[in-house]
Structure 1
Amino acid sequence: MVKRVVKITVTPGKAGGPAIQQLSQYGLDPAKVADEINKRTRILSNYGINNLFVELEIDEESKRYVVKPELPPIGDLLLKAVGKDTGSHQAGKEIIGNISFEKVAEIAYIKWEELRSRDFLNAVKQVVSACRSVGITIDGKDPKQVLKELSGEAYQGVIRKFEDMLRQEGRL
């Protein structure tokens, strides 16, 4: 089994052009690969990311492939979500923006595989903690307060929504 790794640069949700066409030399259907990349990266188009590296691991015998987008760090996604370029210079004291809990859960959903959490709630907690370190409040609340509220029922509907999406995609 010979595997080849190919890296291409795409615009999230809009893969196409010469970068995708070159994949035909490996016996892949460029349209099918573009659809898979678009499906995996479409959500990132909401964050104003123009160029994203995507790694394709190709089995040259079976022509099967795995799409692995190289995702930006959590802090970068949080800053993009609030429209800032840099985070707080005094974590916990300086507030640079506010984000909805739904957006926090969306970032945990995007970064799910990289966070390596036991469950989605713990992934969300990692993103909430990152909010504090870059100076972002969640629904107007200090992230420490949101962490305390996560043990109750306050955010369970949003968490279940993203857990269901992960299950449907076979990622949870």
Structure 2
Amino acid sequence: MAKRVVKIAVAPGKAGGPAVQQLSQYGVDVNKVTEEINKKTKILTNYGINNVFVEIEIDEDTKSFDIKPELPPIADLIMKAIGKDTGSHQAVKELIGDISIEKLAEIAYIKWEELRSRNFKNALKQVVSACRSIGVTIGGKDPKQVLKEIDAGSYNNVISKYEELLRQEGRL
């Protein structure tokens, strides 16, 4: 069973062209690969990311493939979401922006596999924790306060929404 790993750079949600066409030499259906890459990277278009590397593992015997996008760090996604290039130099004293809990839940959804949490609530808490270190408030509140509110169940509707999405995609 021969496996081959190919790494290409694509525009999120708009894969195509020579980068993807080169995969035909391994006998995979290029249209299916393109469709899968676009499906897995489309959500990144909301963050103004121009290129993302995608690793495609191809089984040359069965012509099957597995796609793994290399996602930006959580802090980068948060900063892109608030329209900033860099985080605060004095995180607790200098605030650089504010973000909604819904947007943070979307980031946790994007980074789900990398966060390796047992449930979406814990994944969301990891993303919320990153806000404090870069000087970002959440709905005008300190991230520490939001963590307490998550534990108290204040955001269960948002958590349930993304858990359901992950279940539908077979990722949870």
TM range (shorter): over 0.9
Give, in angstroms, the shift of residue 41 of structure 1: 0.4
Structure 2 residue runs without a partner (length 5+):
none
Structure 1 residue runs without a partner (length 5+):
none
Trace 1:70-149 onto structure 2 (pairs within 5 A).
70-149=70-149
Counterpart amino acid of 2:156?
Q
Cα separation, 1, equivalents of 2:93 and 2:11:
36
Identical pairs, percent: 73
> 1:92-120 deviations in whole A, cap 9, x for unaligned?
12110000100000000000000111111
Partner of 2:2: 2
Give, in angstroms, the shift of residue 154 of structure 1: 1.4
Cα separation, 2, equivalents of 1:163 and 1:94:
33
Partner of 2:62: 62
Cα separation, 2, equivalents of 1:60 and 1:92:
52
Cα separation, 1, equivalents of 2:10 and 2:60:
22
State whether structure 2 residue 31 is matched by structure 1 residue 31.
Answer: yes
Aligned to 2:56, the other structure's residue is in SS state strand
Give, in angstroms, the shift of residue 152 of structure 1: 2.0
| TM-score computed with the length of structure 1 as normaliser | 0.98
Give, in angstroms, the shift of residue 30 of structure 1: 1.1
| TM-score computed with the length of structure 2 as normaliser | 0.98
> 1:124-166 deviations in whole A, cap 9, x for unaligned?
0000000010111111111010000001231111100000000
Counterpart amino acid of 2:125?
K
> 1:24-48 deviations in whole A, cap 9, x for unaligned?
1111111111100000000000000
